[in-house]
């Protein structure tokens, strides 16, 4: 039984957010420099993550609130409408599978049952799975609001899976590795080019555990077949 | 195995939306009369439901777009920020269980496994389940982006349930009754005071099937125990 993260593990995601953050800096540049804009947006996201959740719609609402705040209410309705349009663009963006994912998943589907465990907007995440062209390889897809030990416990119990027989693969140590180790599963870290600041794990928690790190999705079959972890 | 809808079956929901729609009419009253505002908001929701999904965040984004459109871009950033605040209020609103739900669920949990099947924002729906005080009575909670036959088929397959042994209870003929009958399950209609226009079923589809309608959640145990349907 193999668990797979989706965003930035199977396909590109962070990059979409970074592109829009650059447009946002530009939109509010009359009132704030780039660093101030980034910091203000991050603070708004942090303050609202519990109610907005992860995903594009919450990101759009946070950009709106930050633009209103930074401009002291002077930002135009047209610009605020433009931000919603960016969100719609993100939702419709073609899926860009990461290197080696398509051919490797094809191999893995022959040896493992594949369970996608991802967080974000429900419809957006399921839509990406449906559009990615690999839907037929997945056993089930579970979208959760937060990837903590309790969420993994619920997902595995709901699917009748013993954590001791579960291995999770993902790009986030905080969301894909630590909570799975905490409930007695195994986890493999597959770093992506960038890590969102909200996904930075507690260094003490990381120091207390040991987990394999692979350089490429292509390394998974050999590793799961008993090959040595890279680190 | 008993399936339960949540919004407007277990707790009040439509009313929250109607209250905010009234505030919205007021906010845009400089540019549009109430009827025009309602029609424009509905048109925006309809145009965006596939990407926004059901739920509060999509509703907020639709109000923003409609206010910008109706005002020709003249609505202020402060007013657009106010709309987001309404959404936050809705998310934090205390749960109001409908009449008889708490005591009846307690009885039903002794005779059935209870599976909540609901649509909307993932975090918002799970948050309401967690806050409603009845969480311990539910076997599982599945949030789906759309309640069509395929969604029910997936949910039941994922939980290892035979549709023939599944009865769904809910206030929406379109979302809780017709798709369940379509996959060979049973369904009970429990009408709420109002029905959202998006939930109005196709009259031809309704005429082609026969299903029981109960007047109160309190009637469920007797009905499931073999009592006669009301209609």
Burial class (CB in 10 A: 0-12, 13-18, 19+), B14: middle
Partner B contacted by A113 (CB < 8 A): no
Q: What is the pLDDT of residue A230?
A: 47
Q: Does A155 touch chain B (CB under 8 A)?
A: no
Option in B65, B92, B158 nearest A81 (CB)? B65
Distances (CA, A) of B194 to A60, A178, B59, B174, B191: 31, 46, 18, 14, 8
Q: Which residues from chain A sit within 8 angstroms of residue B63, using beta carbons? A: none
Positive or negative, the CA dihedral B175, B181, B186, B192 is: positive
DSSP summary character for residue B173? I
- Rounded CA-CA distance A40/A22 in Å is 14
Q: What is the pLDDT of residue B194?
A: 77
* Judgement on whether residues B127 and B214 belong to the same structural domain of the protein: yes
* Chain A environment of B144 (Cβ under 8 Å): 122
Residue at a domain's end among A92, A116, A146: A92
pLDDT tens string, chain A, 231 residues long: the values are 999 999 999 999 999 999 999 999 999 999 999 999 999 999 999 999 999 999 999 999 999 999 999 999 999 999 999 999 999 999 999 999 999 999 999 999 999 999 999 998 899 999 999 999 999 999 999 999 999 999 999 999 988 999 999 999 999 999 999 999 999 999 999 999 877 888 889 989 998 999 999 999 999 999 998 855 444
In this structure, the answer to whether residues A116 and A147 fall within a common structural domain is yes
d(CA A213, CA A111): 21
Q: Find the DSSP H helices in chain B.
A: 14-27, 34-52, 56-70, 77-92, 101-111, 122-131, 149-158, 178-182, 203-207, 220-224
Decide if B230 is inside a domain: no
pLDDT at B226: 82
Nearest-neighbour CA in chain A from B210: distance (Å): 31
Per-residue model confidence (pLDDT) at position B210:
93
**Domain ends where: B71, B92, B113?**
B92
**ipTM score assigned to the predicted complex:** 0.91
B161 and chain A in contact, CB less than 8 A: no
Q: Looking at beta carbons, which residues of chain B come within 8 Å of A86? A: none
pLDDT of amino acid A181: 98
Whether residue B84 is found in the same domain as residue B100 = no
Residues in a beta bridge with A117: A142
Indicate whether A205 and A121 sit together in one domain. yes
Phi-psi region of A225 (alpha: psi -120 to 50; beta: other; left: phi over 0): alpha
Q: Residue A133 burial (CB < 10 Å; 0-12/13-18/19+)?
A: exposed
Total domains present in chain A? 2
Structure tokens at A15: 């990059």
The list of chain B residues with pLDDT below 50 reads 230-231
Asked whether residue A88 falls in the same domain as residue A99, the answer is: no
Mutate to test the interface with B, among A51, A124, A130 (most CBs of B within 10 A): A51
Burial class (CB in 10 A: 0-12, 13-18, 19+), A1: middle
Q: What share of chain B is helix, strand, coil (3-state, %, to 5)?
A: 55, 10, 35
A187 and A201, same structural domain? Answer: yes
Confidence (pLDDT) at A193: 83
| Nearest chain B alpha carbon to A47 | B88
Please choose, from the candidates A199, A226, A185, the residue with its C-alpha nearest in 3D space to the C-alpha of residue A2.
A185
pTM of the model: 0.92
Task: Chain A: give the shortest CA distance to residue B101, in Å.
Answer: 25
Q: Of B92, B124, B147, at which residue does a domain stop? A: B92
Q: Where are the beta strands (DSSP E) in chain A?
A: 2-4, 114-119, 140-144, 167-170, 186-189
Write out the residue range of the structural domain in which residue B133 sits: 2-11+96-224
A98-A99-A102-A108 Cα dihedral, nearest 10 degrees = -100
Rg (CA), chain A: 19
By C-alpha distance, the chain B residue nearest A53 is B123
- What does the pLDDT read at residue A176? 97
Check whether residue A201 and residue A135 sit in a common domain. Answer: yes
- Residue B49 makes CB contacts below 8 A (sequence gap 6+) with B58, B198
User: Buried (b) or exposed (e) across B163-190, using 16+ Cβ within 10 A?
Assistant: beebbbbbbbbbbbbbbbbbbebbbbbb
Name every residue whose Cβ is closer than 8 Å to that of residue A100 and which is 6 or more positions away in sequence: A216, A217, A218
């Amino acid at each position: 039984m193999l668990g797979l993260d989706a965003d930035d593990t199977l396909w590109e995601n962070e990059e979409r957010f970074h592109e829009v953050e650059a447009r946002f800096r530009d939109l509010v540049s009359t009132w704030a420099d780039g660093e101030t804009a980034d910091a203000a947006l991050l603070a708004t996201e942090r303050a609202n993550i519990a109610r907005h959740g992860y995903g594009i719609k919450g990101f759009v609402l946070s950009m709106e609130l930050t633009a209103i705040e930074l401009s002291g209410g002077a930002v135009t309705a047209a610009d605020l409408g433009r931000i919603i349009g960016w969100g719609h663009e993100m939702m419709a963006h073609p899926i860009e599978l990461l290197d080696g994912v398509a051919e490797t998943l094809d191999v893995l589907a022959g040896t493992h049952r594949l369970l996608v465990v991802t967080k974000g907007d429900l419809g957006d995440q399921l839509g990406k799975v449906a559009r990615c062209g690999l839907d037929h390889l997945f056993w089930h897809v579970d979208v959760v609001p937060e990837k903590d030990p309790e969420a993994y416990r619920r997902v595995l119990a709901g699917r009748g899976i013993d954590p001791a027989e579960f291995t999770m693969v993902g790009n986030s140590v905080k969301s894909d590795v630590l909570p799975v180790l905490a409930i007695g599963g195994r986890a493999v870290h597959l770093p992506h080019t960038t890590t969102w600041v909200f996904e930075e794990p507690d260094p003490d928690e990381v120091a207390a555990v040991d987990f394999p790190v692979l350089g490429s999705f292509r390394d998974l079959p050999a590793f799961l077949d008993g090959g040595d972890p890279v680190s």
